Amino acid sequence: MIEARSLTKRYGSKTAVDDLTFSVQPGVVTGFLGPNGAGKSTTMRVAIGLDRPTKGKITVNGRAYRDFSAPLCEVGVLLEAKAVHTGRSAYKHLLAVAQTQGIPRRRVDEVLGLVGLSDVAGKRVGGFSLGMGQRLGIASAMLGDPGVLILDEPVNGLDPEGIRWIRTLLQTLAAEGRTIFVSSHLMSEMALTATHLIVVGRGKLIANMSVEDFIRSASGDLVHVRSPEANRLAEVLDRENAKTTPTGLDTLAVNGLTAQRIGDLAFEAGVPLHELTPRQVSLEDAFMDITRDAVEYNHGQPQQARVPASATAAGGSVDDGSVGAGATTARGRA
Amino acid sequence: MTTTPLGSGETLQPRIAAPAPVRQPAAFHTTAKVTISRVLRSEWTKLTSLRSTMWTMLAALVVTVGFGCLIPAITVSEWHNSTPQERAENFTEPVMTSLAGGYFSQIAIGVLGVLLITGEYSTGMIRTSLGAVPHRLPVLFAKAAVFGVASFALSLVSILTAFFCGQAILHQIGLGVSIGDPHVVRVLLGGAFFVTTIGLLGLALGTLIRSTGGSIAALLGLIFVVPIITGLLPGDWGSIHKFVPDGGGEALVTVVRDSDVMTPLGGLVVLLAWIVVGLGAAAYTMVRRDA
């Protein structure tokens, strides 16, 4: 288990991680999602003691990383950039890492086989493709057969086959009871790989919920309605606290009500309906919308990372983990 | 407006609670532990697994031996063209004559010392190294120990080879000395120790500065520019030269000593002080700074 408590990291006047509190459970793949510059890599660097937190702490299985006598056997790490000397062979690289804590040579051969690099073990890493570099990084992370894995953007640079390989590997490792913490800026990838999501923007926690909830709430209750009496229908729905937006002469986009409820209300009011379609918001759209205000280099002036106002206004969303109507209204404002 | 993150309630757990089977930890977990001797072994693997390192060390050896034979050969030919008075003035340091290659090998070893650590910073390897050994100092000290021993052994072998070759040539004109003569063993060991010191100062500067270019510039400045400046200082200020690495090395390898050169023991102390201060500063920053 990984636990962050009020974790804050500032570089000079720039706050990279801002009061993050979360925990990562064993047994499932937890996605760490956020746009570039959201503080994902910094959080991971602090977790393995490369950077010192300004405030707060992050522990693995209840202990600070530097307190482990054999850290590689507790936590396996893949950092975003290649962390390998390009002049050394893959085998010698892994051997040198293994030797620091008495991990046997045969384990080096094992992990090379696990990631499919046995044939190029003697080749210098400088000649590796990005995908091979990522595989070597995974091998390095698996060297100590750790119960916790922290992987920063592991699918970067991989071809579709490689991406599927990582996905399967991570799910297998999680099923063995390991804690798997994987960062990505790709929502679609996380939807396929992860079970739980921790979403950050501008260093702040935006969402902490299961992927299932995230998808359900994101694709939420936006309903496309077509009616010859669209205006009258809008009045009816507005009385029910729905948010209606005219999208054409006879069409409305409705937030806050289910298609079923809209149909019933229209029937009661005697308004004919020609179309009633719940619309799926794509995951990428949902992710973009909830992190829009948290994207770092958007409009020059730094803003506070925040939840779209309507997401909280929709009622109870903070507690039940729903992003509610925020997905669409945020787009309306922007 | 609120900054409360979505779904951050303490009760929130992953929806799909996988049945977490008890994983059998690997057998080596019972014996795995970071120890100094293991980090030393790891650093030895790192040192010997880079082609550039091996080539640089070979270059240092070739240059030391090459110039150790070449300069005495030139000396012999000059000897034949000199008057007796010139001979008495200019041919007083037969040991040093065969150690001329040391000037080049100190550059090679010094730059190698820089590259040992800046190569890790530039490639990102340092994050792997410090992630494996989070207390960090064992990495720096093991690196220094492995590299120090390797460069001392290499320097000593090349200096001895250069000495025997050079003195054999000088014997033609009766100037050659033997290893049993006074001061000779001290000069040879001192030369190897001086080259090793420059290598360790390179390692220290590389750790402090992190960039390869900046570190090499600083190192070359320390071993070549600083002696020029101390040489320009007026009066008593010039004696500062005794305390810079170049002055310390001079004290170790000089047979016929001027009054402004320290005793060999003093020179040894000066070089040791530079190593301690350099690696001490490197250790301080390595622990304090983010990797």
DSSP structure string for B152-202:
HHHHHHHHHHHHHHHHHHHGGGT----TTSTTHHHHHHHHHHHHHHHHHHH
Query: Rounded mean pLDDT of chain A?
Result: 84
The answer to whether A147 contacts B2, with C-beta atoms less than 8 Å apart, is no
The model's pLDDT over B103-133, given as tens digits with 9 standing for 90+, comes to 889 999 999 999 999 999 999 999 999 999 9
Q: How far is CA B173 from the centre of its chain?
A: 36
Distance CA B161, CA B68 (A): 8
The answer to whether A79 contacts B127, with C-beta atoms less than 8 Å apart, is yes
- Order the strands of the A14-24 sheet from edge to edge: A14-24, A2-11, A55-60
pLDDT at B22: 65
The answer to whether B32 contacts A21, with C-beta atoms less than 8 Å apart, is no
The model's pLDDT over B242-261, given as tens digits with 9 standing for 90+, comes to 999 999 999 999 887 777 78
Residues B205, B208, B211: CA angle, nearest 5 degrees: 80
Output the six-digit token pair for A43. 């959080």
The answer to whether B16 contacts A212, with C-beta atoms less than 8 Å apart, is yes
Mutate one of A1, A7, A32, A85 to test the B interface: name it (highest B CB count within 10 A): A85
Interface A:B, Cβ pairs < 8 A: 210
Q: What share of chain B is helix, strand, coil (3-state, %, to 5)?
A: 75, 0, 25
Contact B134, B185 (CB under 8 A): no
The answer to whether B290 contacts A45, with C-beta atoms less than 8 Å apart, is yes
The answer to whether B23 contacts A309, with C-beta atoms less than 8 Å apart, is no
Distance from CA of A91 to the nearest CA of B (A): 10
* CB proximity list for A122: less than 8 A, separation 6 or greater: A89, A90, A91
For residue B51, the chain A residues in CB contact (below 8 A) are 87
Question: Is B140 a residue whose pLDDT tops 70?
Answer: yes
The answer to whether A28 contacts B18, with C-beta atoms less than 8 Å apart, is yes
Question: Is B168 a residue whose pLDDT tops 90?
Answer: yes
Domains plus CATH for chain A? 2-216 (3.40.50.300), 221-278 (3.30.70.100), 283-333 (no CATH)
The model's pLDDT over A20-48, given as tens digits with 9 standing for 90+, comes to 999 999 999 999 998 888 899 999 999 99
- The partner residue sitting opposite B3, judged by closest CB among A86, A304, A321, is A304
Contact A97, B34 (CB under 8 A): no
Prediction pTM value: 0.82
- The partner residue sitting opposite B127, judged by closest CB among A83, A95, A322, is A83
Distance CA B194, CA B196 (A): 5
Beta bridge mates, A204: A201
- The partner residue sitting opposite A100, judged by closest CB among B14, B38, B52, is B38
| Dihedral angle over CA of A202, A208, A45, A91, nearest 10 | -130
More confident call, B203 vs B9: B203
A219-230: average pLDDT: 83
Every domain of chain B and the residues it spans: 37-288
Which residue of chain B is at minimal alpha-carbon distance from A99? Answer: B42
Distance CA A31, CA A287 (A): 13
Please check whether residue A174 touches B, CB under 8 A: yes
Written as one letter, the residue type at A91 is: Y
- The partner residue sitting opposite B49, judged by closest CB among A68, A92, A210, is A92
Highest mean pLDDT of the ranges A172-186, A297-311, B196-210, B233-247: B196-210
Mutate one of B44, B127, B128, B146 to test the A interface: name it (highest A CB count within 10 A): B128
Distance CA A330, CA A208 (A): 19
Nearest CA to A32 out of A197, A159, A145 is that of A197
Distance from CA of A61 to the nearest CA of B (A): 15
B187-208: average pLDDT: 97
Highest mean pLDDT of the ranges A171-180, B176-185, B248-257: A171-180
Contact A141, A149 (CB under 8 A): yes
- Order the strands of the A243-246 sheet from edge to edge: A243-246, A251-255, A223-226, A275-278
Radius of gyration of chain B (CA): 26
Quick one: pLDDT band at residue A61, thresholds 50, 70, 90? Answer: very high
Percent of chain A with pLDDT over 90: 61
* CB proximity list for B188: less than 8 A, separation 6 or greater: B95, B99, B156, B159, B160, B163, B179
Output the six-digit token pair for B167. 């003195």
Residues A134, B143, A122: CA angle, nearest 5 degrees: 40
A249-266: average pLDDT: 89
Which residue of chain B is at minimal alpha-carbon distance from A64? Answer: B134
Contact A33, A184 (CB under 8 A): yes
Distance CA A26, CA A24 (A): 7
Would strands A2-11 and A29-33 be described as parallel, antiparallel, or unpaired?
unpaired
Mutate one of B6, B10, B120 to test the A interface: name it (highest A CB count within 10 A): B6
Taken in order A311, A317, A319, A321, the sign of the CA dihedral is: negative
Query: Rounded mean pLDDT of chain B?
Result: 90
The answer to whether A318 contacts B7, with C-beta atoms less than 8 Å apart, is yes
CB < 8 Å from B in window 108-167 of A: 140, 144-145, 147
Distance CA B57, CA B155 (A): 9
The answer to whether A70 contacts B32, with C-beta atoms less than 8 Å apart, is yes
* CB proximity list for B124: less than 8 A, separation 6 or greater: A79, A81, A82, A83, A84
Contact A195, A41 (CB under 8 A): no
Please check whether residue A34 touches B, CB under 8 A: no
Question: Is B8 a residue whose pLDDT tops 80?
Answer: no
pLDDT at B96: 87
Q: What share of chain A is helix, strand, coil (3-state, %, to 5)?
A: 40, 25, 35
Distance CA A124, CA A23 (A): 38
Q: Give the CB-side neighbour count of residue A147, counting CA atoms within 13 A.
A: 20
The answer to whether B5 contacts A205, with C-beta atoms less than 8 Å apart, is yes
B51-74: average pLDDT: 94
Please check whether residue A172 touches B, CB under 8 A: no
The answer to whether B42 contacts A96, with C-beta atoms less than 8 Å apart, is yes
Distance CA B43, CA B140 (A): 9
The answer to whether B50 contacts A21, with C-beta atoms less than 8 Å apart, is no
For residue A28, the chain B residues in CB contact (below 8 A) are 14, 16-18
More confident call, A179 vs B174: A179
Beta bridge mates, A224: A253, A277
Nearest CA to B103 out of B198, B189, B176, B179 is that of B198
